[in-house]
Amino acid sequence: MKIIILGAGQVGTTLALNLEGEDNDITLIDTDSKRLRDIQDHLDLRTIVGHGAYPDVLYNAGIEDADMLVAVTNSDEVNMIACQIAHSLYQTPTKIARIRSPNYHNKDIIFKDNHIPVDVVISPEKLVTQYITRLIENPGAFQVLDFAEGKVRLVAVRAYYGGPLVGNALSELKHHLPNVDSRVAAIFRRGAPIVPTGHTIIEADDEVFFLAAKKHIRSVMSELQRLEKNYTRVMIAGGGNIGQGLAKALESKMQVKIIERNPERAQELADVLHDTLVLQGDVSDEDMLKDENIGDFDLFIAVTNDDEANIMSALLAKKLGVRKTMVLINRTAYVDLIQGHQIDIAISPQQVTIGSLLKHIRRGLVSNVYSLRRGAAEAIEAVAKGNEQSSLVVGRTIGELPLPPGTSIGAIVRDDQVLIAHENIIIRENDHVVLFMVDKAYIHDVERLFQVNVTYF
């Protein structure tokens, strides 16, 4: 595909990194020439210095025959105008825009062809809020991803001593939980992937990715670690869009406090959050955290725009006795450095956002994509279409499929039924197939597998 990415910030650069090496023709536009030179030193792509909403800049980038424009600058308005120019002057087939302000999201009619022609609206703040909410619903997990509208989930947990399955073969899972169907899709041990079999022994500190129906998640987690109690008291540091969204989602279920430095913003939050206690102050103020009894809280979530403030406030909260900490980290290089020590979960908004972009770029009837382990692996939901003559998957058993190396099928969702993958299951048309890839180099093989012969249409 010929793709133009507008904006060389964290999201734009992460997207380019994920697409590089997949035979895509990528052009990256930004006003910062130094940043573009730095990116070009590491990535094989074309760069254009200029304002991405200007028609001449888009033309120089090759918009006249581009398949897709992805506008992810920090300005909602620039992103929208760029999509409008691409549509009006060049009839670009697919236009994706990052829209951050909730003021625009409340009016869906804006983003239509006869208004502002944005085909796909991406809201990183909304995606991150949903992501953190799923983590809160599943204490002990460090990644929780939904497939088939939440009917099946992929959950990542770290195996600890005390979990009944630790030190035992995976085949024991079925004996321990005879009425629960689940599938371990992948294991990462000391950073290296292991394709699991029934004979694989689970070791302490393994990162285990498993698939199960939503109602069975806690049962499977209990095999890998001692189950944590549900969170009942949460403190949020940062009252931006993410902090406000989290408080709104949680305040009816648990006790929530939110800290915001800016007095005007704190007053705005107090006006819209009815069951959340809004505190105006510095998230790194030790006396304030002590006064608010942070040691009695189950969870401290730092979601300000400042990585250092998030890290330091979470470390302080941990020192003062909070049970668990989650931190939003914009610099992806920090994520691996800090997660798993005093900070329990580090969240990269770029990695959360990238899946929503990739699902519109992947070919072959792909309806969901999640980037895993900072882009090294992917979880994909593909829809089976066609018949035995026009499709490589429909009418065939899972065991017969020519899956590329390091790729496994974890589950099939058929209407409202969740089928955990077994070799003898026959794939039918309209099945949602959940695949796990530990090697992204084979992504095109998976895409081709789910493409339908043109005669089908």
Write down the pLDDT at residue 108.
67
Q: Residue 359 CB: number of other CB atoms within 10 A?
A: 16
Give tens-digit pLDDT for 123-159.
888 899 999 999 999 999 988 988 888 888 889 999 9
269-278, 426-435, 440-449: segment of lowest average pLDDT: 440-449
Tokens for 111?
């983003």
Tokens for 124?
């990183």
**Stronger pLDDT, 312 or 359, i.e. the higher one:** 312
**Stronger pLDDT, 339 or 404, i.e. the higher one:** 404
Q: Are 166 and 202 in contact (CB under 8 A)?
A: yes
Asked if residue 456 has pLDDT above 60, the reply is: no
Write down the pLDDT at residue 130.
92
Q: Residue 410 CB: number of other CB atoms within 10 A?
A: 23
Asked if residue 313 has pLDDT above 80, the reply is: yes
Write down the pLDDT at residue 363.
59
Give tens-digit pLDDT for 74-99.
999 999 999 999 999 999 999 999 99
Give tens-digit pLDDT for 314-368.
999 999 999 999 999 988 767 767 766 678 999 988 888 887 887 777 655 677 8
345-354, 394-403, 431-440, 446-455: segment of lowest average pLDDT: 446-455
Residues comprising the chain, all counted: 457
Percent of residues, the chain, with pLDDT higher than 70:
95
114-118, 167-171, 227-231, 381-385: segment of lowest average pLDDT: 114-118
Write down the pLDDT at residue 448.
85
Give tens-digit pLDDT for 36-81.
999 988 888 899 999 999 999 999 999 999 999 999 999 999 999 9
Confidence of residue 110 (pLDDT cuts 50, 70, 90): confident
Highest mean predicted confidence (pLDDT) among 100-109, 110-119, 182-191, 260-269: 260-269
What is the mean pLDDT of the segment spanning 392-411?
90
- Which of 178, 179, 180, 188 is closest to 209 using CA atoms? 188
Asked if residue 406 has pLDDT above 50, the reply is: yes
Tokens for 293?
């009894």
Asked if residue 444 has pLDDT above 90, the reply is: no
Asked if residue 21 has pLDDT above 70, the reply is: no
107-121, 313-327, 384-398: segment of lowest average pLDDT: 107-121
Confidence of residue 457 (pLDDT cuts 50, 70, 90): very low
Q: Residue 177 CB: number of other CB atoms within 10 A?
A: 18
Asked if residue 17 has pLDDT above 90, the reply is: no
